[in-house]
Structure 1
Amino acid sequence: MAQALETSAQPADSEQYLTFMQSGDMYAIPLLGVKEIIEYGGITPIPTLPQFIRGVINLRGRVVPVIDLGCRFGKTEREVTRRTCIIIVEVGSGEENQDMGVIVDSVSAVIDIPMVNIQPPPAFGAKIRVDFIQGMWKSDDRFVIVMDIDRVLSVDEITHLTEVLQESVA
């Protein structure tokens, strides 16, 4: 007698997230937006860009901008270690999608987070801009910051910041 196969090990009311460490804090981004994780290296710096834009990489013939997430959050540049890596994510919506690289200290795991367990972002006291936070999830002994990656890597905002910086240099 044939048995029905379970098509998904993930509960219907949860979503998969990639967790990573940055400046001693744990963050999570939706796994659906993650294209790949690559070793740190091969970044070509571009002059006159904001400090958090480290440069670009050649990813199989495509030019992909690389953002230092720690610098984007207003922290100082951190030392690159053997666990430092670049997460390639797709940001934007509709036809305007853009691949971007995000430098993080280390990647932790892929986890299922029940949606009912994600709390709203704090109104104050966060180490990063509140609009970058989609919510907070309490893991065993720590909070995981669930990021709104489209806001953190907003192509429009980054373009605007770059234009402002280039005008001030000129």
Structure 2
Amino acid sequence: MDVRIRFKKEAKEYNDRTCIIVVEVESIMLGLIVDNISEVISIPDEEIVPPPEINKCAENKYIKGIGKVGSNVKLILDCKKLMNDKDVEAISQIE
């Protein structure tokens, strides 16, 4: 799944920086195509807080939490919300 397209952004040609992140959602292995990856980190659960309730717009529904890493914060995507029922059904039929 091209995450750029899912977020209704303009399509971008894939290049040598394009990456596929493999995640498991609802027992389904899913590849998320992203423009690039700057780092891979582990964030302890105690350093993750839910996103603020204010200004909950459509784009914010994909945010599962906010992780603190040193003096920086990282947005944590809810991969389950990236998929809709049609996606789950289509992928289930492939298996």
CA shift at 1:83, angstroms? Answer: 1.0
CA shift at 1:103, angstroms? Answer: 0.4
CA shift at 1:71, angstroms? Answer: 1.3
Structure with a larger share of its residues in helix? 2
CA RMSD of aligned residues (A): 2.7
Q: RCO higher in 1 or 2 (8 Å CA, sep ≥ 6)? A: 1
**Take 1:131 and 1:158, find their aligned partners in 2: how far apart are those partners?**
17
- TM superposition score normalised by structure 2: 0.70
* Gap regions ≥5 residues in structure 1: 1-66, 163-170
SS in 2 for 1:107: coil
- Pairwise mapping of residues 89-108 of structure 1 onto structure 2 (< 5 A)? 89-92=23-26, 97-108=27-38
State, as a whole percentage, how many aligned pairs show the same letter.
Answer: 35
Of 9, 12, 17, the residue aligned with 1:78 is 12
**Take 2:14 and 2:37, find their aligned partners in 1: how far apart are those partners?**
14
Compared CA separation, residues 157 and 85, structure 1 to 2 (3 A):
same
The aligned residue for residue 76 of structure 2 is 146
Does structure 1 conserve the Cα–Cα contact (< 8 Å) formed by 2:43 and 2:68? no
SS in 1 for 2:81: helix
**Take 2:13 and 2:69, find their aligned partners in 1: how far apart are those partners?**
27
**Take 2:3 and 2:46, find their aligned partners in 1: how far apart are those partners?**
27
Q: Give the aligned length.
A: 89
Q: Which amino acid aligns with 1:103?
A: I
Structure with a larger share of its residues in strand? 1
CA shift at 1:157, angstroms? Answer: 4.8
* Gap regions ≥5 residues in structure 2: 91-95
Bigger Rg, structure 1 or 2: 1
Does structure 2 conserve the Cα–Cα contact (< 8 Å) formed by 1:122 and 1:130? no
Does structure 1 conserve the Cα–Cα contact (< 8 Å) formed by 2:43 and 2:69? no
CA-to-partner distance for each residue in 1:32-91, whole Å, 9 max, x for gaps? xxxxxxxxxxxxxxxxxxxxxxxxxxxxxxxxxxx1101111211123221102122221
CA shift at 1:146, angstroms? Answer: 0.6
The aligned residue for residue 158 of structure 1 is 87
